Structure 1
Amino acid sequence: MTKKPELLVTPKKIEDILPLIEAGATALVVGEQRYGLRLAGEFSRDDIRKSIDIAHAKNTKVYVAMNAIFHNDKVDELSDYVQFVSEVGADAIIFGDPAVLLVAREVAPDLKLHWNTETTATNWYTCNYWGRKGAKRAVLARELNMDTIVEIKENAEVEIEVQVHGMTAMFHSKRALLGNYFEFQGKAMKIDKSQQSTMILHDKERNNKYPIFEDDNGTHIMSPNDICIIDELEEMIDANVDSFKIDGILHTSQYIIEVTKLYREAIDLCVDDREQYESVKEELVAKIEDMQPTHRPLDTGFFFKETVY
């Protein structure tokens, strides 16, 4: 029997929680950039606690991101943060560093773990390796095609999560490249945690515009286009992929909410009324295209190997 995948969304602020649930999200990712990478918004401990209370009252899951790259200076903090996440009732921690897994085993052994390095989950052996270490889910790399995703799901011993919408990271450096550049020029650059001061790298030859921003984790260069696979969900739904993620980083709250509504409609129709889904899916794409920022066209990422950055 075909099941409906989880619709996982990234809120920008606590005020987004209820609207996103009402739009059809069944799970949310929150966190603070000290412990999580490329979050759509910054959530303090108090925000995380409130978000979980709001979401759980609506039968919606909340996952807390701890997938940053950790150096020795932060390792001693992990135990306290994992304990906090467990105590406030988060449904899972998203991790990439084995240090988080080892700490969680020690201080919160019942807390579910989702393995997400963003780049290295490219085969089912690796997914199952981390599953046997304690992870309940693997978040697949964004550079995989549809056939590979389906094959991994068929052989995976863990849940599988796939990003179906939004931009992806092309480059990450722990160095403050932008800040260092401005400092070299004799200027000061204030790190804006809200990401409102995002800069654009303009490739005139390809007419691509790459968002670039700096935060506590370093410098990030993002893809020039947004993945949109709303009209190609059939194979993954038939393969019972467990979770579809909409990544809202660098988008407005309203954009994320409206896109969530459209994916909710698409998932429901694809499972419950495939013929109707086939008849409206091009219209769903058109609605998203109407909302897109002018400098961010849609594409299908690497799902069909059409995109080469």
Structure 2
Amino acid sequence: MKKPELLVTPTTISDIPMLLDAGATAIMIGEERFGLRLAGEFNRQEVQEATNIAHKQGAKVYVAMNALFHNETLPLMPDYIQFLDRIGVDAIVFGDPAILINVREHGPNLKLHWNTETTATNWYTANYWGRKGAARAVLARELDMEAIVEIKEQANVEIEVQVHGMTCMFQSKRMLIGNYMAFQGRDLKVQGKSKDQSLVLHDPERNAKYPIWEDKNGTHIMSPKDMCIIDELEEMIEAEVDAFKIEGIQKDIIYLEKITKLYREAIDLYIEDPDTYHQQKEQFLDAVKAVQPLNRELDTGFFFKESVY
């Protein structure tokens, strides 16, 4: 039985050794000007240092270049891609075809992981980007388990699925909060406060609080609960899904380290002894609940319910 990669998004360089020791086999990092909703900001020096640390421990490094790009960003791409190729990162995560075209010219040895957050919803599309050069498709968070398994069975590329953490519900390239406050004649200095944990949208009818922030890529509204399926991994492991992702946005290293260890234990246990995993999976879920922040309830995302668009 194939063991899936365990991908985690660190917030700082100091997180990386701890997450690798906890069982992560890959990390995703990057710069805000190129990547969307990163757990932390990594400049070039830090990307190179992170790559050295990870490779020494046999782990992979993926760099996010999955932002929505405008013309003014295009001249910055070749040099950055050449840099990533030179230091030997394992893949670039992209959504915009501009990245694919630039990688062909400036970093042809680099692997590509296609990630548009929301549009990877069928295996035809995954295979289309595979024919264009992508080695992996990152599936939309709105898919249920049946769809994920079917896509994996039909896909000619690797498949990555998020299994834990908050998810993005909405993004706008505009600074919606800052513009609204300016219109109201108020200055809350919200623009550019990347991943500010003090800003939420409150829906009193559903008693839901949605984290929201603005950065160089616009306005982001996140899910009111954290996804967690540590007790429901068996179908995807059996289907040989290639990578499970733990999202680290707005989480500290103490939390991320504990969650990574629990998923490492759960994955390894199922591979070694499925029956024992079934007996202990409620204990894994209880262990996650024990470290979960009080303001972030857990749910299973869309894994067991129909998406309504």
Structure 2 unpaired stretches of 5+: none
Structure 1 residue 247 corresponds to structure 2 residue 228: no
* 2:153 alignment counterpart: 154
Amino acid at match of 1:201: L
Q: CA deviation at 1:251?
A: 1.3
Q: In 2, Cα distance between the equivalents of 1:37 and 1:19?
A: 24
The correspondence of residues 64-143 of structure 1 with structure 2, limited to 5 A, is 64-143=63-142
Question: Could you tell me whether the CA contact under 8 Å between 1:183 and 1:189 is conserved in 2?
Answer: no
Q: In 2, Cα distance between the equivalents of 1:178 and 1:242?
A: 38
Deviations 1:60-108 (A, max 9, x none): 1000000000011101111111111111110000000000000000111
TM-score by structure 1 length? Answer: 0.97
Q: In 2, Cα distance between the equivalents of 1:241 and 1:209?
A: 32
* 1:43 alignment counterpart: 42
Go from structure 1 to structure 2 and tell me whether the alpha carbon gap of 1:28 and 1:193 turns closer, same or farther (over 3 Å shift). farther
Amino acid at match of 1:140: L
Determine helix, strand or coil for the equivalent of 1:263. Answer: helix
Amino acid at match of 1:150: V
Go from structure 1 to structure 2 and tell me whether the alpha carbon gap of 1:192 and 1:260 turns closer, same or farther (over 3 Å shift). farther
* 2:20 alignment counterpart: 21
* 2:209 alignment counterpart: 209
Deviations 1:138-197 (A, max 9, x none): 000000010110000000000000000011100100001122123232315154555244
Determine helix, strand or coil for the equivalent of 1:296. Answer: coil
Go from structure 1 to structure 2 and tell me whether the alpha carbon gap of 1:192 and 1:254 turns closer, same or farther (over 3 Å shift). farther
Determine helix, strand or coil for the equivalent of 2:244. Answer: strand
Amino acid at match of 2:288: I
Question: Could you tell me whether the CA contact under 8 Å between 1:192 and 1:215 is conserved in 2?
Answer: yes
TM-score by structure 2 length? Answer: 0.97
Amino acid at match of 1:169: C
Q: In 2, Cα distance between the equivalents of 1:207 and 1:308?
A: 20
Question: Could you tell me whether the CA contact under 8 Å between 1:173 and 1:219 is conserved in 2?
Answer: yes
* 1:264 alignment counterpart: 264
Q: In 1, Cα distance between the equivalents of 2:81 and 2:58?
A: 22
Q: In 2, Cα distance between the equivalents of 1:193 and 1:273?
A: 46
Structure 1 residue 238 corresponds to structure 2 residue 238: yes
Question: Could you tell me whether the CA contact under 8 Å between 1:300 and 1:307 is conserved in 2?
Answer: no
* 2:299 alignment counterpart: 299
Q: In 2, Cα distance between the equivalents of 1:190 and 1:225?
A: 23
Structure 1 residue 187 corresponds to structure 2 residue 180: no
Determine helix, strand or coil for the equivalent of 2:209. Answer: strand
Structure 1 unpaired stretches of 5+: none
Q: In 1, Cα distance between the equivalents of 2:112 and 2:150?
A: 22
Deviates more, 1:189-198 or 1:16-25: 189-198
Amino acid at match of 1:259: I
Question: Could you tell me whether the CA contact under 8 Å between 2:194 and 2:214 is conserved in 1?
Answer: no
Structure 1 residue 220 corresponds to structure 2 residue 220: yes
Amino acid at match of 1:29: M
Q: What value does the CA root-mean-square deviation take over the aligned residues?
A: 1.4
Question: Could you tell me whether the CA contact under 8 Å between 1:52 and 1:90 is conserved in 2?
Answer: yes
Q: In 2, Cα distance between the equivalents of 1:261 and 1:101?
A: 34
Go from structure 1 to structure 2 and tell me whether the alpha carbon gap of 1:267 and 1:287 turns closer, same or farther (over 3 Å shift). same
Aligned residues: 308
Q: In 1, Cα distance between the equivalents of 2:102 and 2:230?
A: 37
Structure 1 residue 171 corresponds to structure 2 residue 133: no
Determine helix, strand or coil for the equivalent of 2:14. Answer: helix
Q: In 2, Cα distance between the equivalents of 1:194 and 1:87?
A: 29
Amino acid at match of 1:235: E
Question: Could you tell me whether the CA contact under 8 Å between 2:190 and 2:214 is conserved in 1?
Answer: no
Structure 1 residue 6 corresponds to structure 2 residue 5: yes
Question: Could you tell me whether the CA contact under 8 Å between 1:182 and 1:189 is conserved in 2?
Answer: no
- The list of structure 1 runs, each at least 4 consecutive aligned residues, that deviate by more than 6 angstroms after superposition, is 306-309
